[in-house]
Amino acid sequence: MTENTDQNTLRETAMDEIRSLRGRIDGLNKDQLDLILTGARSHYAWTDKPVSDALLHEIFDITKMGPTSMNCGPARFTFVRSAEGKERLAKSLKPANVPKVMNAPITAIIAYDVDFWRELLRLFPHDDRRGHFRDKAAHAQDTAYRNSTLQGAYFMIAARALGLDVGAISGFSNAVVDEEFFAGTTVKSNFLCNIGYADETALFQRLPRFDFDDVCNVI
């Protein structure tokens, strides 16, 4: 079998998989949409129900399937569960965020590797795109940051889809997190996200959102 035949077979398989998916489900129902976005809330108070390693693996296995440019997948996830890890993370936090993190079952550091492009032959094997980023630090940084932000959003939706609650945090020092957790590496922090099972008694009313006409244009 030739390389072209192999590629054609793979493409036909991919097309059949999408056709099968569309045949099985037209879209999410209202309850499912409520669970992941329209009815979900950001949480900052938590019960003591633990989050298992198996569940973290499941969240990641869903997250990694979300699209990124050239399938580059630059996000790196550090799950901080231990008291020692939380103390290290607390050094970076604004005071109001310390109890939110310390009381969460797990805080995920959503980070990115600026050298993600070194893995492109593995992740984008049909064309060597490493030259797009080699010796182009600013382009690699922008691409890694942009796509890890996407992956962070996929991560939050995946966690909610599996019945967990999430609370993203940006009130912290990236420099402190990077020094504490990623010193000597090519990994940099993007944002933090608490995950677990929320104590809903700490909620306040839902805040307003823009209407379509406020922020959208169809050209």
Report pLDDT digits (tens) over 124-152.
Answer: 998 999 999 999 999 999 999 999 999 99
Distance of CA 10 to the CA centre of its chain: 28
Q: Can you point out the beta strands (E) in 84-219?
A: 106-113, 165-169, 187-196
pLDDT of 2 higher than 80:
no
Q: Which residue carries 């493409």 as its tokens?
A: 11
Buried/exposed code over 14-31 (b: 16+ C-beta within 10 A; e: otherwise): eeeeeeeeeeeeeeeeee
pLDDT, tens digit (0-9, with 9 covering 90-100), for 63-109: 999 999 999 999 999 999 999 999 999 999 999 999 999 999 999 99
**Threshold 0.75, pTM exceeds:** yes
In the chain, DSSP assigns E strands to 75-80, 106-113, 165-169, 187-196
188 contacts 114 by C-beta, under 8 angstroms:
yes
In sequence order, what E strands does 35-74 have?
none
CATH 1.10.10.10 fits 41-200, yes or no: no
- For 42, phi then psi, to 5°, come to -80, 135
Say what percent of the chain tops pLDDT 90: 95
